[in-house]
Structure formats: structure tokens, C-alpha cells
């Protein structure tokens, strides 16, 4: 389906913002990305086939996110992938299934962004309160401020982050037709190595990130599957005589890690997993796209902030064979 609304495809509602190639079909619904918002478009019957997309149809349109094409997660997981997939030897159904998996990854990462940003705001507010008012102490008794929902927010954040990792693995499984679906990079690396070879760029990339991805999965397991490695999550706490530390988390036990400030680390890990998702997708597509087409990175100076895709498919003329107009033989 043409994803450019300017081509004449009718809309059941009026948007005053330019849509720029941003109507994308998934299994059972469309999403429309303006610069700063995401709308979901769905037929009440659940049938989103071409015949239903007409001016006479009744659609349910819902604003689902205050994030659009300017958001890096949407731009680089959805819009960029959708563009590059048009050059891969995939059927429309295969593209749609793969994009639907990536859509779930995108939604999980957007949830991570929201939670991480809220945590940062909350923690900064508590710290500012401490700076202005101090904290109560009487003798050996001290009352420290606490983030009231730290445990819940941290747990929810890690659930969504772990889901995004599973969906990255599922995307690779779907696109490369691996022999089974994995939920971690250690097993994914083995399967990619068996399929593409240990000298392939994708294998080397996945293998290089096994340990860090495993640590993120272990952080999540403190709620449900604690084992030899456990997660220690601490609210505001003493870090020395009259010194207060912001909330931290760390792994202890067999695979211990150093404590990290939760508010900052959540933002950093979200960006990291988004980058992992983008690169795994591009490596997988690179295995499918055939010469003379190739995936190339856009120079940072030329990236449009309203549509910040970083990779595009280009025609590599150095790998083309030209035919003389006076002959059928290559020259």
C-alpha cells in the first residue's frame, strides 16, 4: 500500500498537519505519524483490507501517543525500517508481519521513555527539595525523603525493556527465517552464526552485545526469577556521613555490577536498546537487500530533525553493469 497520503488515499478524518509518507499498515490496523503525535486507524470489524479503505467506510481513529516522526524510536524503528523494507525481496504480508513485531518493540520502548523521563523528573524534584529544606535528623534518627513509587516504576520499566529485547530477537527470527525464536542475545548469536556464519557483521554485532543485554534481563528477573544473581534496588539512602544518594540499582551475586543511579541509567539503557534494535534491523535487512542496492548511513549534518532516519537504501552504481544502446551485450 502507498504510504503517502498525498497520493489521494481518502482519510475518514481531517488532520491539519503534514503526514509525509507516514501511514503504515500493520496486522489489523494502520498508524499515522505526524511530527509529534501518533494516531491509530482501525475499522470496527478489524478488516483493514484495501476494499474497506474508502470514503464510505467508518473508521475508529485514536490518538495513542504524543510522539511522532520526530521521536527517534518511531523514526528509526518504524519509518526507517518501512522505507528500507520496500527494497527487500519480501512479500507485502511478510513486511507487514515483521513491522508488526517491530511495532510492539516500538511501543515497549516508548513506555520506557515515558517512565524514565518521569523518574528523572521525580528524583530531580526530591533532590531540589533536599537542597532547599535539608532533611530531618534528631540524634541518631534521620528521616530521608523517599520516591513513593520507585519499586513499581522501576519494575514496570524493566518489564517493558525486557519485552523490547524479546521483540528484537523475534524480528530477527521472522526476517532471517531462523530455526527458532529466542528471547536473549546469547542464543540469538548462536542462531545467527549458524545461519549467516560467524564472520557476518550481524553475528559479530549481536555477539558483542550479549553480556550487556544479559545484564538488563537479569535486572528484570529480580521480581520473578531471582537466582544466583539478584537485583538490589535502593531508594534515597545514606552514602556516608550526612551524604544522601539518589536511588540506585545493581546486580549482586554471580554477575555483580556496580550501583547506578536509576533515573540516569533508565534513560541511558532505553537509548542503548533503541540503538540495538535499529542496528539489528539494518543488519538483517542488509542480508536480504541485493546489489546494486545497498544500505547507507546518512551524514549527521543531513539528518532532518522532523524525520530523523539515519539509514536509507541507495543505488550503488559502481556495482551496475551498463548496456550499450547499440548492443545487447554488457559493456
Residues 24-68 have pLDDT tens digits of: 888 888 899 999 999 998 876 666 555 545 556 677 889 999 999
Same structural domain for residues 103 and 8? no
Is residue 34 classed exposed, middle or buried when 0-12, 13-18 and 19+ CB atoms within 10 A define those classes?
Answer: buried
What is the SS3 string spanning 171-195? HHHHHHCCCCCCCCHHHHHHHHHHH
Q: Are residues 55 and 88 in the same domain?
A: no
Same domain as 128, residue 53:
no
Number of domains in the chain: 2
Residues 107 and 46 in one domain: no
Domain extent at residue 35: 1-69
31-40, 46-55, 175-184, 240-249: least confident range: 46-55
Shared-domain flag, residues 155 and 59: no
> What percent of the chain has a predicted confidence (pLDDT) above 70?
82
In a domain, 331, yes or no: no
Question: Would you say 308 and 81 are in contact if contact means Cβ atoms under 8 Å apart?
Answer: no
Model pLDDT for residues 99-120, shown as the tens digit of each residue: 999 999 999 999 999 999 999 9
Amino acid at each position: 500500500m502507498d504510504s503517502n497520503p498525498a497520493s489521494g488515499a481518502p482519510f475518514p478524518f481531517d488532520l491539519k498537519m503534514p503526514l509525509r509518507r507516514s501511514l503504515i499498515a500493520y496486522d489489523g490496523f494502520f498508524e499515522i505519524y505526524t511530527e509529534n503525535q501518533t494516531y491509530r486507524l482501525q475499522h470496527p470489524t478489524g478488516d483493514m483490507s484495501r476494499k474497506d479503505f474508502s470514503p464510505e467506510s467508518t473508521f475508529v481513529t485514536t490518538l495513542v501517543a504524543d510522539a511522532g516522526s520526530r521521536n527517534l524510536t518511531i523514526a528509526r524503528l518504524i519509518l526507517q525500517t518501512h522505507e528500507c523494507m520496500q527494497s527487500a525481496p519480501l512479500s507485502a504480508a511478510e513486511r507487514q508481519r515483521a513491522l508488526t513485531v517491530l511495532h510492539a518493540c516500538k511501543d515497549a520502548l516508548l513506555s520506557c521513555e515515558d517512565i524514565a523521563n518521569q523518574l528523572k523528573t521525580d528524583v530531580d524534584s526530591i533532590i531540589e527539595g533536599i537542597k532547599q529544606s535539608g532533611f530531618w535528623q534528631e540524634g541518631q534518627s534521620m528521616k530521608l525523603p523517599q520516591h513513593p513509587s520507585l519499586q513499581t516504576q522501576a519494575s514496570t520499566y524493566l518489564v517493558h525493556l525486557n519485552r523490547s529485547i524479546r521483540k528484537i530477537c523475534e524480528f530477527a527470527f521472522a526476517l532471517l527465517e531462523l530455526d527458532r525464536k529466542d528471547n536473549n542475545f546469547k542464543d540469538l548469536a548462536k542462531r545467527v552464526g549458524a545461519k549467516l556464519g560467524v564472520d557476518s557483521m550481524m553475528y559479530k554485532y549481536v555477539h558483542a552485545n550479549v553480556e550487556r543485554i544479559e545484564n538488563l534481563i537479569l535486572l528484570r528477573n529480580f521480581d520473578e526469577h531471582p537466582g544466583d544473581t539478584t537485583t538490589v534496588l535502593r531508594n534515597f539512602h545514606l552514602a556516608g556521613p550526612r551524604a544522601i544518594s539518589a536511588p540506585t540499582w545493581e546486580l549482586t551475586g554471580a554477575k555483580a555490577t556496580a550501583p547506578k543511579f536509576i533515573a540516569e541509567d533508565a534513560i541511558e539503557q532505553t537509548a542503548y536498546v533503541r540503538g540495538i534494535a535499529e542496528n539489528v534491523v539494518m543488519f538483517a535487512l542488509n542480508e536480504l537487500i541485493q546489489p546494486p542496492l545497498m544500505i547507507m548511513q546518512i551524514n549527521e549534518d543531513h539528518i532532518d530533525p522532523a524525520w530523523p532516519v539515519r539509514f536509507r537504501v541507495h543505488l550503488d552504481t559502481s556495482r551496475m553493469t551498463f548496456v550499450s544502446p547499440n548492443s545487447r551485450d554488457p559493456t
